[in-house]
Structures are given as structure tokens and as C-alpha cells.
Amino acid sequence: MTDRVQGTDPSLKPQVLIIGGGFGGLWATRALASAPVDITLIDRTNHHLFQPLLYQVATAGLSAPDIAAPLRHILRSQRNVTVLMGEVTGIDVSKQLVMIGNEPLRYDYLIVAAGATHAYFGNDAWQQHAPGLKTLEDAFGIRARMLAAFEAAERTDDPIARARHLRFAVIGGGPTGVELAGTLAEIARHTLPREFRRADPRRAEIHLIEAGPRVLASMPESLSESACRQLTKLGVQVHTGTPVTVIDADGLMLGPNRIEASTVLWAAGVAASPLGASLPAERDRAGRVKVDPDLSVPGHPNVFVIGDLASIQCDGKPVPGVAPAAKQMGRHVAARIRQMLAGKSDRPAFRYVDFGNLATIGRLAAVVDLRGVRFAGASAWLFWLFAHLFFLIGFRNRLVVLINWAISYLTYQRAARVIIGTPKPDPIKNPA
Amino acid sequence: MTDRVQGTDPSLKPQVLIIGGGFGGLWATRALASAPVDITLIDRTNHHLFQPLLYQVATAGLSAPDIAAPLRHILRSQRNVTVLMGEVTGIDVSKQLVMIGNEPLRYDYLIVAAGATHAYFGNDAWQQHAPGLKTLEDAFGIRARMLAAFEAAERTDDPIARARHLRFAVIGGGPTGVELAGTLAEIARHTLPREFRRADPRRAEIHLIEAGPRVLASMPESLSESACRQLTKLGVQVHTGTPVTVIDADGLMLGPNRIEASTVLWAAGVAASPLGASLPAERDRAGRVKVDPDLSVPGHPNVFVIGDLASIQCDGKPVPGVAPAAKQMGRHVAARIRQMLAGKSDRPAFRYVDFGNLATIGRLAAVVDLRGVRFAGASAWLFWLFAHLFFLIGFRNRLVVLINWAISYLTYQRAARVIIGTPKPDPIKNPA
């Protein structure tokens, strides 16, 4: 097959269709800015989300617009791109069509960057009791649940119910779980105490539960230990090596032990977007599409899968589902498309450059691993802060976020403690 | 009857129950800070909302936390108040009880400041097609609808559907309607144009519809005329003197004329909170409780109604449902309760002090009437801006809002253009 579809209007530029405006899709779009193509970028939302700070929206530190900017605003000056908000319902690689609702859209090159969602490992009933954190809606739901639990603790006279409302469990000891647990502990210990009259937020228990042997398993062992120490110092109870077997409206079973908790959060597993199943390719256990070394779908050199949806090894190790990998993949496939447009037929492999790994835990608490240079605590936290501010898209967001953080830092207060919408039924409708 | 309930624990301080944490309830609470009472403030949300800027959240200029602060945070230092988040389901003045869900709460003094909601004058079916603006949830819904209409215009190929998506109708020519229409016009003319490729936001039509003879009817006639001129200059089509007779999913009937519009917003009527019906008192046509001159319920000197829920005349004119009136009422009933605690039996009447009236229209466009000193345009807008910043609760909010406004002013950009949640079905599910 050739790089262009036969029989189309020759005046038309090659059509590049990009599904998903996350790090992978957005970086691919930008890297094609000066290419002689027409790009259509489709996302189901109207915004690019800076996912590394999503836990800050969930824990009431930041507002949604601080970490989300409209895709069409980000790309306003790139004249070869049309942004569409819509839901992709199917992909037909034989006809080179993508369905947006009932409307077909033809492509010459397709980049699928549809990302991942939560996975409950077959226990889908757990979803309603233990929400995960992937979208802004998820973040608002978690924020409302967490704040409503403290409200319910203040409202009830029953000491057992109050203790349950003040008990929080975070399942999953990866970066998101560590961030959520650490921040929850800070809110309970430092932000809220003076504001309650009947309940004492300082008596809140925060449980971080990891089925594997240690938190932050992708980090070197010494940093896992440091993270565990920093969490314990903040007041988080860390449980490792025991899987959760039951989650219900009032808590969970951790091996043989019951933890009664109104608020259970899920940070344990992700599954690739179901859109991967529309492609004629093998998928791994997490549903990610197994791509060729150049990130194309086997047998379809004009169809690429990037970001969290792609399953690929690099130097014998799987490429992790992190923002820098998605950005690098986006730039790689943009370069591939330019080469194909120029008639080059070699297919250079994607190479992931790992600049390091960092995770934040709380105020002045973090761990950093820069290819062997490891540090923890206050210096790691400052490094994390500036790295994230630097990468946050848009000057305005960066400035407002910096001010919010500066004030948070000085006062321990959190700017966005607003319950919007109706929180999930459990803690609020049954105040007892 | 005496000021205290007989037969209760004498060690208990008098119980003051305040329903509603808006301007009336919050100002009453603060004015009782040093009184020898126990106050319970109940609100169905966890925050005080700065309602005069709610239209800025609806039009994507501000984030929710910019104009909303947790009630318990605002009142953290006032040790005689307990804040509860909960829904009041009934009031029994004979037993001096308020029901929060199934739980009764006893009071010695009751202040009902439950506010108002939208009214559709018997056309409740209009609500789904023409949302009103009273809560943060309302603001998010309107924001999502408005932004989704521009997205739908970009997605469709049908010029008739595109025109409908780019046509907006605001019903009601009071301050909220004028603010919404003026801001919508600015967004269409200045914020969005460069960001769309197929639809041209500058072709958007904004219709402001007022059944009465002029917009801003509570203002002097010369300022109504000025507001109308300023709106027209911004590109708003102002219709006065014709009532809307039909609203459906695709538009409305204005007398004999059809306006096809995907987005219709309701700013035409308010009705008092249904909680007023729990009180043994007459109510006016809008459902507001007719109170005695001291704001108490006739026959119940320890039960007060304040803010938008109260119907009272002052100097022969009805007191308007505005924030300054609610604050003054809150302070008045707090003073009354102090007097009753001191054993004084005279019941001084509430007197409303009207400091003036102001409404904003758009950037550098506003009208101000300070008891006869009238001005319009840029100077009025600057006056409005500083008046609102001054009254915005909490230093942090003020600073962030000021920065957002400064950047908006310089760039015409709007910080909060994020669609959260699923917009209402009409514009987004039927992209054609």
C-alpha cells in the first residue's frame, strides 16, 4: 500500500486524524505544525488536561481551569489543525475511516492516542464505592466525597459513624495513591482542624493500601522506603503485601481485617481505552495495542498508536505510561509522517529516553530519581514543584497555580474547597 | 410568650438557628459573634456564594472557588457558631423545631434566610430548555451549554444548524440578563474568533428579550437607555415589550416570530424558597413571607425571615432582593436578638438604606446610579469592578480574581473555558 489513498481529490492535502488531546495527541499535533497536511484533532472533552496535577483538583488545592486549557485555544495559531469535540465510536482501517457519532471522517494517516481509564480487575461493582481519578469529573466527584465525609462527621452524634466518616482508604501505592493519601493527611491534620466544632479532623485515619511489597514500585527500593517513612510521618498508615478482597458502601476487607471507611479511593489499576479493540492488532493484558517498533499497527504503516494505549518494549523494558513517554511518542510519529510524505520508506524504531522519575507526597515531601541521582524530602519536593510548573501549559495557568501554591504553602489552606454537584450517596445521604 | 423556651437545660445558652449561608444568614451570624448564644448555621451547600459574580462563572471568566468559600472556613474564628451542611425539610414554630432530614433541632431564635430560586411563571417545562442561574451547578450547566454550542457549530456541515448553534437568547432584561448577554457578545466577538476553522463565532447572534418596556427596569430611564445603547454597540439585539410564548429544544416564539436558537438562558423570574410555606404567615405572589416591620413572623417574635425570602415595604417601596438589603436585614435581626436577650421588648422597624444601584454590561460598559449621581460607560465599569472586588470575601479570592480580570482585560481571554460534566442533550448530542 502507498502512503496516500488513491482516487481522492488531488487538491486536498493529506488528512491526518488524531484521536485524543492528551500529551501524546497534542505533542504529535504540534510537531506537525509546519507539515503540508490537514490535521483534525478529536477529543471527547474540549480541553487538554495536565494530568500530573489532577490529584490537586481532587484534593481541593486547585481549580479545574488551573490545569485544563481548551485545545482550540492552545492550538489557535496552528492554522493546519481543526479541533473537534466529539466521541469516536469506531475505526475502520480497511476503508480508512473513523466514525464520530454517525459521521464518517476519512484519513490518510491516523494517530490513536485515546489513553487509559480505571480498571477494577473484574470487580466492576467496586467502581461505585471506590472512584478512580482520570478526568476532571472524577476529580470533582472525589473532592465532593472527601469534603462531604468531614461534613457528615460533624453532623452525626454517633461516635462509631463519626469514626467511619473520618476514616479514608486509598487503594494503590503508585504515584497517584501516594499523592492522594499524603494530601488527605495534610488536609486532616493542618487545613481543617480549627473549622470543626464537634468532629476533630486530626483524628482522621488515612490508610494507603498496596497489594505488592512496596509503594512506588517503579522507583528504586531506597526511595520506596523513603516515601513510606515520609508518609508515616504525615500520619498515613501504610499497608503493603495484602490485597483488598471486598469493597462496599461502608468500607473494605484487607485480607481478614475489616476497615470501616466512608471514603475509599481507587488508584490501583488502569486499562487501555476500549478504542484499542477497534484496531486489527494484538493487545496485552491491560488492553494496550501491541505496535511495531515504529509505533505503527502491524500491517498498517499509516496507523499509529501512542501514549498509554500503546504496548511497546524499549531496551528490553516496557515503556511506562507516563507523560514524557507519550510526548516522545507523539513527536516520533509526527516525524514518521513527515518522512512518509517525503517518500522515505525506512521505518526507524521509537526510542524512549527516560529522564527520571519523581513522585510527590506532601508539603516538602517527595522522592526524585534522575537516572541514578536520587534524593528525597524538601529538595525533592522543590524539584517536583518547579518541574511541574515549568511543564504546565499556558502562562496564565502557571501564574495562578504558583500564587495558589504559595498561599497554600504559607497558610496550609486550600483554595478550592467547594462541593459542586451532589456527592455520591453514601456519606451525605446517610448522615448517621 | 417569652424569649426563651421553658423547661430546657438552664446551663445551655440560647440556641440561635440560622437557615441559609447567603448574604443574609452570614451577616446575621457575624453580627452575633460576641453574643452569649450558641449559633447553628445550616446550608445545603458547604460554601457562601458571592452571587453578584456568578454570571462570570457561567461565562467562563472565573472558576467556582474564585467566588465561593467554605462557610466553616469564613467562620472558623467565631467560636459560638457550628456550621452544618444539610437540607432543612421542615419548620415547626409551635414546637420550636427545625427538621434537618429526619433529625430535629431545637431553637430559641430562628432566622430563615433560605433565599430564592428561578420561577418560570407556570411554564415549568421551559426549565429544561432555558436554564436559570442561581447556584454553582447552574453556572457550570450554562457554561457547558454555551461552549458546547460553539463546538457543535464547528462540527456540523449544515449551514442552518450552524446558524442555530450560533444563536443565543437570554430571556429577562434585569441585571443578570444584561450581564449574560453582554458577556456572550464579547466572547463571540473577541474571545473565540481565531480559534475556529469552520464556524465563525463573530456571526453569532445574541438576543436579549425583555417583556416589559425597558431593560434594567429598576434603574432610572436614562440609564436603561444607556444600557441599551451599550448592549447594541457590543452586538446584542435587544427586544423589549414582547413576551416569550413558547420555548422548546430548538428555540422560542417571541410574539408571532420564531427565533431558532440552540442556547436559551432564563433570567426572567425568581420565586422565594419553598421553605417559606413552612411558616404560619401570609406570602406574596412570589412566595415571599410577609413579615412584621421588625422582620419577624407575625405572632412569632423569635422567628425572623430575611433576604430574598422576606416581603417588606420600607418608605412605601418594597425592599429589593439584592445583597445589600440582605446584609442589612441580617444585621438588624442580630441586633433584635441581642435586645431580646437583654430583656428589651420594643421592636424597632427595619429600615433599608439604599446606597445605589449598579449593573455591568461588558468590558468598560456599565451603568451606576448612586442616589441620583448617575454615570455610564468606562467610569461606571471601573466603579463596578472595584466595588465588587472590595466586597468579595477573602483575600485570596480577591487577588486571584483581580489577576484573572487583569489578564482578561488585556487579552480578552477567559480563564475557565472548561466544559465539565455532560452538557444538556440539545446542542451536544445532536451535532447536526
Please report, for residues A331, B75, B165, B324, B343, the alpha-carbon distance to residue B336 in angstroms, rounded to integers and kept in the order given: 70, 21, 53, 18, 11
The yes/no answer on whether domain A124-268+356-429 falls in CATH 3.50.50.100 is yes
Q: Are residues B198 and A70, on separate chains, in Cβ contact within 8 Å?
A: no
Cα–Cα dist B67/B396, whole Å: 10
**Torsion from C-alpha of B414, B416, B422, B424, nearest 10 degrees:** -50
| 3 state DSSP class of A128 | helix
Cα–Cα dist A234/A364, whole Å: 11
Q: Are residues A400 and B400, on separate chains, in Cβ contact within 8 Å?
A: yes
The pair phi, psi for residue A266, each rounded to 5°, is -110, 120
Residues contacting residue B295 through CB under 8 Å, at least 6 positions apart = B304, B305, B306, B310, B312, B329, B332, B333, B336, B350
Looking at residue B91, its amino acid is: I
Q: Are residues A76 and B194, on separate chains, in Cβ contact within 8 Å?
A: yes
**Hey, what's the cell of A224?**
520506596
Q: Are residues B68 and A396, on separate chains, in Cβ contact within 8 Å?
A: no
Which residue does chain B place closest to A432, by CA atoms? B103
Burial class of residue A385 in the structure, from the number of CB atoms within 10 Å of its CB (0-12 exposed, 13-18 middle, 19+ buried):
middle
Query: What's the pLDDT at B8?
Result: 52
- Closest approach of chain A CAs to the CA of B171, in angstroms? 25
Q: Are residues A85 and B45, on separate chains, in Cβ contact within 8 Å?
A: no
Query: What's the pLDDT at B399?
Result: 74
Taking the domain B15-44+86-118+270-341, which CATH number applies?
Answer: 3.50.50.60
- Report the candidate in B14, B81, B8 with the shortest Cα–Cα distance to residue B338: B14
Which of chain A's residues have a Cβ under 8 Å away from the Cβ of B140? 420
Residue of A179, A186, A195, A225 with catalytic role: A179
B18: left (phi over 0), alpha (psi -120 to 50) or beta: beta
Q: How confident is the model at residue B5 (pLDDT cuts 50, 70, 90)?
A: very low
Q: Are residues A416 and B65, on separate chains, in Cβ contact within 8 Å?
A: yes
Which residue does chain A place closest to B198, by CA atoms? A82
DSSP-H helix ranges across A348-421:
378-391, 395-411
In this complex, which of B100, B155, B418 lies closest to A47 when CB atoms are compared?
B418
Percent of chain B with pLDDT over 70: 94
* Cα B46 to the center of its chain, rounded Å: 17
Which of chain B's residues have a Cβ under 8 Å away from the Cβ of A196? 72
Q: Are residues A415 and B421, on separate chains, in Cβ contact within 8 Å?
A: no
Burial class of residue B48 in the structure, from the number of CB atoms within 10 Å of its CB (0-12 exposed, 13-18 middle, 19+ buried):
buried
Q: Where do the DSSP E strands lie in B101-256?
A: 103-106, 109-112, 116-118, 167-171, 205-210, 236-240, 244-248, 251-254
A109-112 and A68-70 strand pairing: unpaired
Give yes or no for a contact between B338 and B35, defined as CB atoms under 8 angstroms apart.
yes
Cα–Cα dist A188/A184, whole Å: 6
Cα angle for residues A39, A44, A50 (degrees, 5° grid): 85
What does A392-403 look like in DSSP terms, one character per residue? Answer: SSSHHHHHHHHH
Burial class of residue B197 in the structure, from the number of CB atoms within 10 Å of its CB (0-12 exposed, 13-18 middle, 19+ buried):
middle
Q: Are residues B420 and A137, on separate chains, in Cβ contact within 8 Å?
A: yes
Percent of chain B with pLDDT over 90: 76
Cα–Cα dist B67/B397, whole Å: 7
Instruction: Indicate if B260 belongs to the active site.
Output: no
Only one residue has cell 440561635, namely: B16
DSSP state of A202: G
In this complex, which of A68, A100, A195 lies closest to B72 when CB atoms are compared?
A195
- Report the candidate in A204, A144, A132, A139 with the shortest Cα–Cα distance to residue A171: A132
Residues contacting residue A281 through CB under 8 Å, at least 6 positions apart = A289, A290, A291, A297, A298, A305
Q: Are residues A403 and B403, on separate chains, in Cβ contact within 8 Å?
A: yes
Cβ neighbour number for residue A145 with a 10 Å cutoff: 22
Burial class of residue A276 in the structure, from the number of CB atoms within 10 Å of its CB (0-12 exposed, 13-18 middle, 19+ buried):
buried
Which residue does chain B place closest to A408, by CA atoms? B396
Looking at residue B339, its amino acid is: Q
Q: How confident is the model at residue B249 (pLDDT cuts 50, 70, 90)?
A: very high
Cα–Cα dist B115/B112, whole Å: 9
- Report the candidate in A363, A410, A406 with the shortest Cα–Cα distance to residue A186: A363
Radius of gyration of chain A, Cα coordinates, nearest whole angstrom: 23
> Can you give the pLDDT of all 432 residues of chain A as single tens digits?
333 344 456 668 999 999 999 999 999 999 999 999 999 999 999 999 999 999 999 999 888 988 999 999 999 999 999 999 999 999 999 999 999 988 999 999 999 999 998 889 889 899 999 999 999 999 999 999 999 999 999 999 999 999 999 999 999 999 999 999 999 999 999 999 999 999 999 999 999 999 999 999 989 999 999 999 999 999 999 999 989 999 999 999 999 999 999 999 999 988 999 999 999 999 999 999 999 999 999 999 999 999 999 999 998 999 999 999 999 999 999 999 999 999 998 899 999 999 888 899 988 899 999 988 999 999 999 898 888 888 876 656 677 777 777 777 777 778 788 888 754 433 333 333
Dihedral sign, CA of A394, A398, A399, A404?
positive
Give yes or no for a contact between A424 and A145, defined as CB atoms under 8 angstroms apart.
yes
ipTM, 2 dp:
0.89
Query: What are the sequence ranges of the domains in chain A?
Result: 15-44+86-118+270-341, 124-268+356-429
CATH class of B125-268+356-429: alpha beta
Q: What is the total residue count of chain A?
A: 432
Query: What's the pLDDT at B420?
Result: 81
A-interface mutation test, from B47, B63, B393, most A Cβ less than 10 A away = B63
Which residue does chain A place closest to B81, by CA atoms? A197
- Report the candidate in A208, A211, A247, A254 with the shortest Cα–Cα distance to residue A359: A208
Looking at residue B67, its amino acid is: I
**How many beta-carbon pairs under 8 angstroms link A with B?**
143
In this complex, which of A82, A86, A415 lies closest to B396 when CB atoms are compared?
A415
Contacts of the segment A74-77: beta carbons below 8 A, 24+ positions apart: A74/A26, A74/A48, A74/A393, A74/A394, A75/A29, A75/A30, A75/A41, A75/B195, A76/B194, A76/B195, A77/B194
DSSP state of B40: E
Cβ neighbour number for residue A37 with a 10 Å cutoff: 18
Query: What's the pLDDT at A227?
Result: 96
Query: What's the pLDDT at A334?
Result: 98
Cα–Cα dist A221/B401, whole Å: 44
Cα–Cα dist A122/A57, whole Å: 28
Residue of B103, B137, B151, B179 with catalytic role: B179
Question: Across residues B387-393, what is the average pLDDT?
Answer: 80
Give yes or no for a contact between B245 and B203, defined as CB atoms under 8 angstroms apart.
no
Cα–Cα dist B227/B224, whole Å: 5
In this complex, which of A70, A151, A418 lies closest to B64 when CB atoms are compared?
A418
Residues contacting residue B118 through CB under 8 Å, at least 6 positions apart = B127, B132, B134, B266, B269, B270, B271
**Hey, what's the cell of B374?**
448617575
Which of chain A's residues have a Cβ under 8 Å away from the Cβ of B198? 82
Which residue does chain B place closest to A428, by CA atoms? B86
Least confident of A362-371, B211-220, B255-264: A362-371
In this complex, which of A81, A155, A397 lies closest to B86 when CB atoms are compared?
A155
